[in-house]
Amino acid sequence: MGMALAHKLSADGHIVTVIEHSDKPGGLATWHNFGAFTWDRFYHVILPSDRHLIGLINDLGMSDHLQWQRTYTGFYVDNKLHSISSNMEFLKFPLLSLTSKIRLGFTMLYGSRINNWQKLETQSCEQWLRRVSGNETFEKLWKPLLLAKLGPSYKRVSAVFIWSYIKRMFSARDKSASAEQLGHVKGGYKSIFHTLQNSITSASGNIRLNESVSNIQPTTDDRMHVQTDKQSYDFDHVVCTSPVNVLNQIVSPEMIKLGKPGLEATDQAVSNAGEEVEYLGVVCVVIVSKTPLTHYYVVNIADDSVPFTGLIGMSNVVNPENTENHHLTYLPRYMLSTDDELKKPDNYFKERFLAGIKSMFPDYNMDDIVSVHVNRAIKVQPLQVLNYSNIVPEAQTRHHRLHVLNTSQFVNATLNNNEVIAAVNAFYHTFSNQLQIK
């Protein structure tokens, strides 16, 4: 978010400084050294409908690097892997009765056509799914999937959570072939971030890595003072793109407005600035192997005997020439960011997840696994609880030189980089006049 905004502002003639805590740019979308090659730390794909993200890729002169692949989807339940990659396979899917399948199809179609998300925010995901999909579909399909992704917190999440997934999944279908097409950029997100870095620095911008912001406050001469662990700066404007917990540590709560854009926050909300925004964290075990584990891009897992919540066969999207002919499989497990399990040592996850792979693929030759990596992130996905939009920080703070832009503000969308770029573009459209130095 920060790098994309800095690129946009630089292109408009502003001199920007990006301050990044890590040694690399990119945040959750950054890269990882897998030994023989480098690829995204977490799995990332691009959908043909990701027009804002594809717009940025084109703008960076990287459209030739965009590659597309037809992909396949699996579903693992009761120790069995089912293919659900076509309508015919879906009709044969044994888990649900024909009536439940029809209701599930209806849920997807109906959900993809809903635009009034505000109404969905007031009802729980469970209530909405039981009403639209029926109890059988909820119990056999939605509930295990929600439990896998959210744990018991699924009960607190609003219908916006599932609706925004349905909308995005629906848009992944290529209408002519009714098959999923997914894409990536040659060289992965690393190549996108390198191009962004070059674009920012060649416009006299400054990217400060390994530097953490500890405080932001107005100066007496109407500028913004930024204190980091290395030095202090005075800027004309500051846009804070960190997660909400960091925002609350570095900015005084009196400065942040909460709630729907245009609504004045209540005093109560101001004093609780952003406290209620909860995040999911993720542990992602990544397997580098000589042979593929599966031909699916994604296997949805609705089986609590498996310790991970999904299986992502990245090499079924990414041409293996990007990964020195190795195959990459990501095994995520999401949990609340406050869950102590997130702090368990790497070996705890390696052992459990490899045992899960053995039970899912008993015929797989485990000697083909070259290396196993454990990547984790604490603040990943904000939890869209009931009436979520009332608790998110507004882009405009109470100080005209300080703005907030982060993924907690996705009140009607799921977490992905297309939304990130859409948010950057919308922010720029709204505030570019205000950001001019007068």
Residue at 305: amino acid letter: S
CB count within 10 Å of CB 97 equals 13
Give whichever of 22 and 97 is closer to ligand FAD, judged by the CB atom: 22
* Among candidate residues 79, 134, 130, the one with its CA nearest the CA of residue 101: 134
Sign of CA dihedral 35, 38, 39, 40: positive
Give whichever of 3 and 360 is closer to ligand FAD, judged by the CB atom: 3
> Applying CB under 6 A, does 19 fall inside the site for ligand FAD?
yes
Give whichever of 141 and 405 is closer to ligand FAD, judged by the CB atom: 405
In whole angstroms, give the CA distance from residue 203 to residue 44. Answer: 28
Answer yes or no: are the C-beta atoms of 418 and 53 closer than 8 Å. yes
Q: What is the CA radius of gyration of the chain?
A: 22
Answer yes or no: are the C-beta atoms of 421 and 434 closer than 8 Å. no
In whole angstroms, give the CA distance from residue 68 to residue 159. Answer: 31
Give whichever of 129 and 404 is closer to ligand FAD, judged by the CB atom: 404
Give whichever of 2 and 313 is closer to ligand FAD, judged by the CB atom: 2
Q: How far is the CB of 1 from ligand FAD (least distance, A)?
A: 3
Q: How far is the CB of 196 from ligand FAD (least distance, A)?
A: 12
Stretch that binds ligand FAD, among 14-22, 116-124, 129-137, 359-367 (CB under 6 A): 14-22
Q: How far is the CB of 356 from ligand FAD (least distance, A)?
A: 17
Q: How far is the CB of 257 from ligand FAD (least distance, A)?
A: 19
Answer yes or no: are the C-beta atoms of 69 and 181 closer than 8 Å. yes
Stretch that binds ligand FAD, among 59-67, 258-266, 366-374, 409-417 (CB under 6 A): 409-417
Q: Which residues contact 412 (CB under 8 A, 6 or more apart)?
A: 117, 160, 164, 389
Q: How far is the CB of 336 from ligand FAD (least distance, A)?
A: 15
Q: How far is the CB of 89 from ligand FAD (least distance, A)?
A: 23
> Applying CB under 6 A, does 416 fall inside the site for ligand FAD?
yes
> Applying CB under 6 A, does 104 fall inside the site for ligand FAD?
no
> Applying CB under 6 A, does 181 fall inside the site for ligand FAD?
no
292-351 residues near ligand FAD, rule: CB under 6 A: 332
Q: How far is the CB of 27 from ligand FAD (least distance, A)?
A: 2
370 half-sphere exposure, CB direction, 13 A CA radius: 16
Q: How far is the CB of 280 from ligand FAD (least distance, A)?
A: 9
Residues β-bridged to residue 81:
76
CB count within 10 Å of CB 292 equals 17
> Applying CB under 6 A, does 144 fall inside the site for ligand FAD?
no
Contacts with ligand FAD by CB under 6 A: the residue count is 31
Q: What are phi and psi of 159, to 5 degrees?
A: -65, -15
Q: Which residues contact 158 (CB under 8 A, 6 or more apart)?
A: 120, 121, 122, 123, 124, 125, 384, 385, 386, 387, 388
* Among candidate residues 88, 369, 379, 60, the one with its CA nearest the CA of residue 202: 60
Furthest-apart CA pair in the chain: how many Å?
A: 69
Q: How far is the CB of 104 from ligand FAD (least distance, A)?
A: 23
216-255 residues near ligand FAD, rule: CB under 6 A: 241-243, 246
Residue at 126: amino acid letter: E
What element of type H or E holds 234? strand 232-235
Stretch that binds ligand FAD, among 22-30, 151-159, 254-262, 354-362 (CB under 6 A): 22-30
> Applying CB under 6 A, does 32 fall inside the site for ligand FAD?
no
> Applying CB under 6 A, does 43 fall inside the site for ligand FAD?
yes
Binding footprint of ligand FAD on the chain (CB under 6 A): 1-2, 19-22, 27-29, 42-45, 212-213, 241-243, 246, 282, 284, 332, 377, 380, 406-407, 415-418, 420
